[in-house]
Amino acid sequence: MGDVLELNLLGSSAQFAHVLAQIRRIAKFDVTVLIGGETGTGKELGARAVHYLSARAEQPFIPVNCGALAESLVESELFGHERGAFTDAKNASSGLISQAEGGTLFLDEVDTLSLKAQAALLRFLQDGTYRRVGGTQVRQTDVRLIAASNANLEDLVKSRQFRRDLLYRLKVMPLVMPPLRERGNDVIELAQAFLDRLNRDYHGQTPVKRLHLDLLNALRRYSWPGNIRELEHFIQREYLMCDGEVMRADLQPDGEVPPPAAESCNANAVFKQAKARVIADFERSYVKSAMARARGNISRAARIAGQDRSAFSRLVHKYRVAPQTEQEQDSADC
Ligand SMILES: Nc1ncnc2c1ncn2[C@@H]1O[C@H](COP(=O)(O)OP(=O)(O)O)[C@@H](O)[C@H]1O
Ligand SMILES: [Mg+2]
């Protein structure tokens, strides 16, 4: 069973070794787990590892994205419903909790549950019993619950959007997946693993590719707000765009060194940084594309962007978008 971790969860940094050790330990105890961490850090993969390393491995692992369920249907999806419980309930349905019988139910984006659904979940966690929507029979089931959220649940408790008693119930075993930018050379290891997979998948269709040293350095300097998911997509996109054998890729360092440990615990600071990065990325590519369309003429590009010239010119300098010569533009068009 140890293979499951080795196969899926890559990374050799000390930070990640700590997470792996926690996963192995948590898997042994049949308790509720709450997994935190930014988007794309591997929360779902971590939940699967806990399940497949546990005594429940042979039983189902049922993932549910709470954020994707319509609010009015959450309870019936989770707990099932009786025939006629609501307009569309033509037949009775058993619900996901019952499908996970003997195994693990993974509630992703648990912070998006309505207060009503939170109350029902709390009841279920307290004694393992539940009722179908529209039903009176009290049912019992043996399911391990793993919940995940990238929100700061303590803050949501303060603003009364999340029940404190539910948070305590979920948080018996907290597990936090670290952001990629704080995992040292794991970014290189993961990029290489994604590249190896692409080289295998596209064997014979395109030359075997490798990563240029400059790109490796850029991977380390970039802050990866979308974490491993963003890295995976980035490598895939660049792989498909690269005709040669060496992938150089243009990955602009966003100039942010990994935040100091104290700050990384502060969700608000992390949010602000992520937001600033998204805005900067957007502005940079917007300015670049307007400048390309205006063939490097700042006044024309400002008109295209619907901005006054001096404000636009500041952005051009901020992002160091060089006014292009007509010649460069022509070759870029090819
Ligand atoms: N340690 C890891 N090793 C390899 N791939 C990983 C690792 N962690 C996450 N991934 C991959 O990154 C992507 C995002 O992971 P996921 O578990 O969905 O993140 P989250 O639930 O935190 O948003 C998935 O494709 C997953 O397979
Ligand atoms: Mg997820």
How many other CB atoms sit within 10 Å of the CB of residue 289?
14
Which ligand number lies closest to the CA of residue 41?
1
d(CA 42, CA 46): 6
Q: Which of 97, 95, 27 is nearest to 55 (CA)?
A: 27
Which ligand number lies closest to the CA of residue 150?
1
Ligand 1 centroid to Cα of residue 43, in Å, is: 7
Ligand 1 centroid to Cα of residue 125, in Å, is: 27
DSSP conformation letters of 276-326: HHHHHHHHHHHHHHHHHHTTT-HHHHHHHHT--HHHHHHHHHHTT-PPPPH
Q: Does domain 181-258 have CATH number 3.30.465.10?
A: no
The region that residue 59 occupies, defined by phi over 0 for left and psi between -120 and 50 for alpha, beta otherwise, is: beta
CATH of domain 2-178: 3.40.50.300
Closest C-alpha residue for ligand 1 atom 1: 9
The HSE-up count of residue 120 (CA atoms within 13 Å, CB side) is 19
Ligand 2 centroid to Cα of residue 166, in Å, is: 20
Determine the pLDDT at residue 289. 80
Contacts of 292 (CB under 8 A, 6+ apart): 324, 329, 332
Ligand 1 binding pocket (C-beta < 6 A) is 9-11, 37, 39-45, 190, 228-229, 232
Q: Residue-wise pLDDT tens for the chain (334 aa)?
A: 445 555 589 999 999 999 999 999 999 999 999 999 999 999 999 999 999 999 999 999 999 999 998 888 899 999 999 988 787 778 888 999 999 999 999 999 999 999 999 999 999 999 899 999 999 999 999 999 999 999 999 999 999 999 999 999 999 999 999 999 999 999 999 999 999 999 999 999 999 999 999 999 999 999 999 999 999 999 999 999 998 999 997 888 775 544 444 434 455 555 556 667 767 776 777 788 888 888 888 888 888 777 778 877 888 877 777 665 544 444 433 3
Q: Which residues are bridge partners to 108 per DSSP?
A: 65
Q: Which of 95, 107, 188, 100 is nearest to 147 (CA)?
A: 107
Ligand 2 centroid to Cα of residue 39, in Å, is: 7
d(CA 162, CA 160): 5
Closest C-alpha residue for ligand 1 atom 17: 42
Q: Which of 132, 170, 173 is nearest to 153 (CA)?
A: 170
pTM of the model: 0.75
Which ligand number lies closest to the CA of residue 36?
1
Q: Which residues are bridge partners to 179 per DSSP?
A: none
Q: Are 218 and 251 a contacting pair, CB within 8 Å?
A: yes
Instruction: Parse the chain into domains and list their residue ranges.
Output: 2-178, 181-258, 260-334
Closest C-alpha residue for ligand 1 atom 27: 45
